[in-house]
Structure formats: C-alpha cells, structure tokens
Chain A
C-alpha cells in the first residue's frame, strides 16, 4: 500500500472537512458542490450568487496553487509532480457520464460532498441512504466496465 498517498488523502480530507465547517460557521451553508454550483448556474439567485461564484473560483484556484508550487504536493497515481490526472475516457463517454452526474445530483439533491461529507456528519438518514446508493452503483458500474466488458483489465 502507498502510505504517502493515503496520508495525503487523510490530510486533504481534513482540509475538505475544515472547508465545510468554515462555510457553516461563517455563512450557515452546507458545503455541497452540486448544490452550490448547480444553484448558481440554474437559478443565479439574487443576493446569493456572489459567494457561490467566489467558492467556485476558490475551488479551481486550490489545485492551480499546487501546480504553481511545482506540483510536488500533487497526488496523481503513478505521476509524481502532477496535480490533475488524465480523464478516464474520451469526449463521448464524458458527455454521458456528465449528464448522469448532473441529473443524478440534481434529482438527489446532493453529491459526494453534500450527502457524503456534510450529510453523514449531520447523521442525516437521507444522506446515508443516498451515499450508500451512489457508492454501490458506482462500484457496480466500475465492475461491469472493467471486469465484465473490459475482461479484467
């Protein structure tokens, strides 16, 4: 096992948690990416858009900062010095995946951050069911793609 990668994961996870706590302490909001960004782009809520846009800019500038620092703090599998990994497929696959992720998080009112991090931390039964559901579906999807269709590659 790659202990450095796991340790970076743990530290990164704690930072994500601190971000969620910060957003709740200052603005009283759940740090759910699909809620924050989905709300911004679909509704553009008056008086409630600037902080969302600022959040997105912060979200993008985080990895950018690590890249400007030379990439040594990145954690891309098998690619030291990289901060952002390569996509797992081409444009066609990503169009399908993106649509599913958008519709799914829109209908289900949350994604890995809103349900998976904030919801579980609040012991919300809806978030627990949502998290178990998307984890199970993602695991089955990867199994089918890699081991049924892909022949175990």
Chain B
C-alpha cells in the first residue's frame, strides 16, 4: 500500500513536470536568463506548486497522523548554517550550468541521452560525496 501511494505521488510529479515543460532544460535556463529572451514558464510552475501545497498541507495537517504511518516527518531545524547555504550555492551553480535539478533530470530518463546519463551518474556520486563530508558540530 505504501508502495502504491509512493508510485502515485511520483506519477503525479512526473506528469506535472512533463506537462509544465520542466523536462526541457532550455525552458529552465530561459527562466534563469533574466537578461536574455526570458521564459516565464518556471515562475508559473513554482507558483502553482507552492500555492497548491500551501493550501493542501493546511488541510492535511488537520489530521493527527498520515493515512499510513505514525507521524508526519517534518524537518524541525530553524537555524541557518554554512552547510545549508554553501550547499544551496553549489546546487545553484550546477543547476545554472545544466538546466537540470534532480526531479527533471530523473524524469527525463524517458528521453535518455549520453549527457543526461553523465549528469545522473555524477549527481549520485555527489550525494555519496556530500554524506562523506562531516557536519561540523
């Protein structure tokens, strides 16, 4: 049952990305290129997603627990640290170079190319590397 719920969530996410054109790096880079032929599509995607989630979460959190599972697993940290900001900065550079963030990169496997394959392999290597960098206590 848990697996089916996960699949449905992934399918909705993948359909949303494809319908939105986020599986096209040119659209993403076009949005980030404020000083070129600006493509506003990503703004509508992020806006639609955030507003829907904002409203939906408020309805969901009226329940004590999720449908399956004991608790809502939410991050509780509020502090800002170098790991968060430095990580976000590195991610931003990689995103700006490729036009791929993790979701669209994985969703685009349906149209796999050699550069995309390289992107995915390096991304997984990066996740392992990040785990090897210890958090300063």
Chains A and B are bound partners? yes
Q: Enumerate A25-67 residues with CB–CB distance to B below 8 Å.
A: 25-31, 33-34, 37-38, 41-42, 50-67
* The one of A31, A66, A119 that contacts B18, using a Cβ cutoff of 8 Å: A66
Are the C-beta atoms of A109 and B75 separated by less than 8 Å?
Answer: yes
Are the C-beta atoms of B89 and A133 separated by less than 8 Å?
Answer: yes
A15 CB → nearest B CB, Å: 3
Nearest residue (CB) in B for A136 is B92
Chain A positions within 8 Å of B96 at CB level: 137-142, 145
Q: Mark B102-137, 1 if CB is under 8 A from A, else 0.
A: 110111111101111011111111111111010000
Q: Enumerate B81-114 residues with CB–CB distance to A below 8 Å.
A: 83-103, 105-111, 113-114
Q: Enumerate A70-84 residues with CB–CB distance to B below 8 Å.
A: 73-79, 82-84
A149 CB → nearest B CB, Å: 11
Are the C-beta atoms of B94 and A16 separated by less than 8 Å?
Answer: no
Nearest residue (CB) in A for B4 is A54
Main secondary structure of the interface of B (DSSP, over half): helix
A26 CA to B37 CA, complexed, in Å = 41
* The one of A13, A27, A96 that contacts B6, using a Cβ cutoff of 8 Å: A27
**Count of residues in A whose CB is under 8 Å from the partner chain:** 120
Are the C-beta atoms of A22 and B8 separated by less than 8 Å?
Answer: yes
A31 CA to B124 CA, complexed, in Å = 18
Provided the pairs A21-B60, A109-B75, A113-B103 are in contact, do residues A65 and B15 lie with their beta carbons within 8 angstroms? yes
Are the C-beta atoms of B110 and A84 separated by less than 8 Å?
Answer: yes
Are the C-beta atoms of A67 and B10 separated by less than 8 Å?
Answer: no
A34 CA to B54 CA, complexed, in Å = 20
A residues near B (Cβ < 8 Å) are 1-2, 5-31, 33-34, 37-38, 41-42, 50-67, 73-79, 82-109, 111-113, 115-122, 124-126, 129-131, 133-143, 145-147, 152
Beyond A58-B13, A88-B97, A91-B115, 19 additional pairs, beta carbon < 8 A: A5-B39, A13-B44, A22-B9, A23-B5, A34-B127, A42-B128, A51-B5, A58-B14, A63-B18, A64-B14, A87-B115, A98-B118, A100-B90, A103-B127, A107-B83, A121-B57, A141-B93, A145-B96, A146-B36
- List 16 contacting pairs A-B, 8 Å CB cutoff, sorted by A: A19-B10, A26-B67, A50-B3, A53-B3, A74-B18, A74-B21, A76-B23, A83-B18, A88-B97, A96-B122, A97-B122, A103-B90, A109-B83, A111-B102, A121-B50, A122-B74
